[in-house]
Amino acid sequence: MNILITGASKGIGAAIAKELLSIGNVFVTGRDKEALKTIGAKAFCICDLSKDITNLQEFIKGEKIDILINNAGEYLYSAIDSTQPDTVDRIFTTNLITPIKLISTAVPFMKKNKWGRIINIGSISGVMGEAYASIYSSSKAGLIGLTKALALELAEYNITVNTINPGWVDTELGNKSVEDSEFTKEELIECIPQKRFVKPEEIATLCKYLISEEARGITGQGINLCAGLSVGI
């Protein structure tokens, strides 16, 4: 198995990469070369997913990637009328357009071998919506729609497509998102049924399961890993 994880220099992506080292050839991409070196992956590709991704697409073809984990994403907390058009373009490119392009690059090899796994890391904000995060929420909601449609399209090739929707995650990005919002971390935790942030390792373990043959019947699903946040308060 040749596995590619995007946004793997830290946080959720790094946790996923480290968890999967034992089951296949792990390849990672991100913007921080020094951080990627610490993962222990077979190889890495430096790429900014909001810009030109030609080098990453060639990397996918060259390494014959058959497990693609679209983890990289960017959060934005901003009123819709205060959000600049170039910011909208950047968020949608990173969170939705680039994953589409990477999937379309990887799928021919998966089809040829009649096996593949695609896992998109979405967000509970894409399931429920989040005030002042409409651009982020809608880009992640797009991943959920993409997942459902592609699961149908690729099922005959033994390729599964799923989205994991984390809630608040205990990472640098998660904590920065708290700082960008109008709430304290303590106030947010009070709104989470389990009264805690999800650990990135929990998401990594779920990825490992979705890759396994035991999970081959799971496709087209959006799995909410959110400590109960999607159920209610």
Please check whether residue 210 is in contact with residue 181, taking contact to mean a CB–CB distance below 8 angstroms. Answer: no
Question: Which pair of structure tokens corresponds to residue 53?
Answer: 């991704």
217/203 Cα distance (integer angstroms): 19
- Which residues face 44 on adjacent strands? 28
Active site residue 77: no
Select which of 75, 77, 136, 157 is catalytic: 136
15/51 Cα distance (integer angstroms): 25
148/65 Cα distance (integer angstroms): 21
- Which residues face 6 on adjacent strands? 29
Active site amino acids: 136
